[in-house]
Copies of this chain bind each other. A is one copy, B any other.
Amino acid sequence: MSRPKSESRAALLDNALSTFWKMGYHVVSMGDLVRETGVSRGGIYSDFKGKRELFHACLEHYQDTFVGPSLAPIEEDGAGIAAIAKYLETLISSIEQSGEGVIGCLVVNTSAQLDPDDTDTRALLEKHFKRQEDAFHAAISNENNISKKLSESEVKALAQFVTTSIQGLASRFRNTTDMKPLRQYADSLMQILKVQLYNDQ
């Protein structure tokens, strides 16, 4: 039997994700989602139990389509801090080219407005942070195998520092169109990484 999923149906997650990303969970209404996705109310509810479930699916979709691909080079065997530098540069230039203004990171935005009791959503966010930190940890550890300057606990602290700093970058520049301070910040971060890994004190 019968009809295939419509085009708009296939892009539902894409468009819902960008809507939540731009506006934030609480501000987005089902009417907004209907308008932005081109899928009817009934269509959305036939695929998802409700707004909350759709949002969770968008968080996963965000992982698959944005976070995963951008972290992949860092997660590769043998990747060093050059991969982190490239990650930052790609991040910034993709914002630059989108032209729509900066909208930060969906996970960071969500974290800032999360109900402390909402453990389901929190778990999804923590999974993201862990993945990011693990990737940075591996790359920094690889790099440290060359210089062997840092202890394992220092490598770990540095990976946490980088993760949290990038979260600061996403938070601080959510509404900036000027990319200069963004690049400045990325440069500072990379310079610090190099000093920590290679310069004796």
Please report A residues at the B interface, Cβ cutoff 8 Å.
22-24, 26-27, 101, 104, 108-109, 111-116, 122, 129, 157-158, 160-161, 163-172, 174-175, 181, 184-185, 187-189, 192, 195-196, 199, 201
Give the nearest-CB partner of A109 in chain B.
Answer: B112
Is the Cβ of A116 less than 8 Å from the Cβ of B129? no
Q: Which of chain B's residues have a CB closer than 8 A to the CB of A112?
A: 24, 104, 108-109, 111-113, 171, 174
Q: Name A's interface SS.
A: helix
Other-chain contact of A26, B24, B188, B195, B199 (Cβ < 8 Å): B24
**How many copies make up the complex?**
2
Q: Point out which of A26, A192, A196 has the most chain B C-beta atoms below 10 A from its C-beta.
A: A192
Those 7 A-B pairs whose CB atoms lie nearest each other, nearest first: A168-B168, A112-B112, A26-B26, A161-B188, A167-B168, A171-B171, A164-B172
Question: What are 9 residue pairs bridging A and B, where the CB atoms are less than 8 Å apart in the complex?
Answer: A26-B26, A112-B171, A112-B174, A122-B175, A160-B185, A163-B172, A167-B168, A168-B172, A192-B196
Q: How far is the CA of A22 from the CA of B172 in the complex (A)?
A: 20
Give the nearest-CB partner of A168 in chain B.
Answer: B168
Give the nearest-CB partner of A102 in chain B.
Answer: B116
Q: How far is the CA of A199 from the CA of B201 in the complex (A)?
A: 6
A113-B113, A157-B187 given; name 12 further pairs at CB < 8 Å: A101-B116, A109-B112, A111-B112, A157-B184, A157-B188, A160-B188, A163-B172, A165-B165, A168-B168, A170-B171, A192-B192, A195-B199
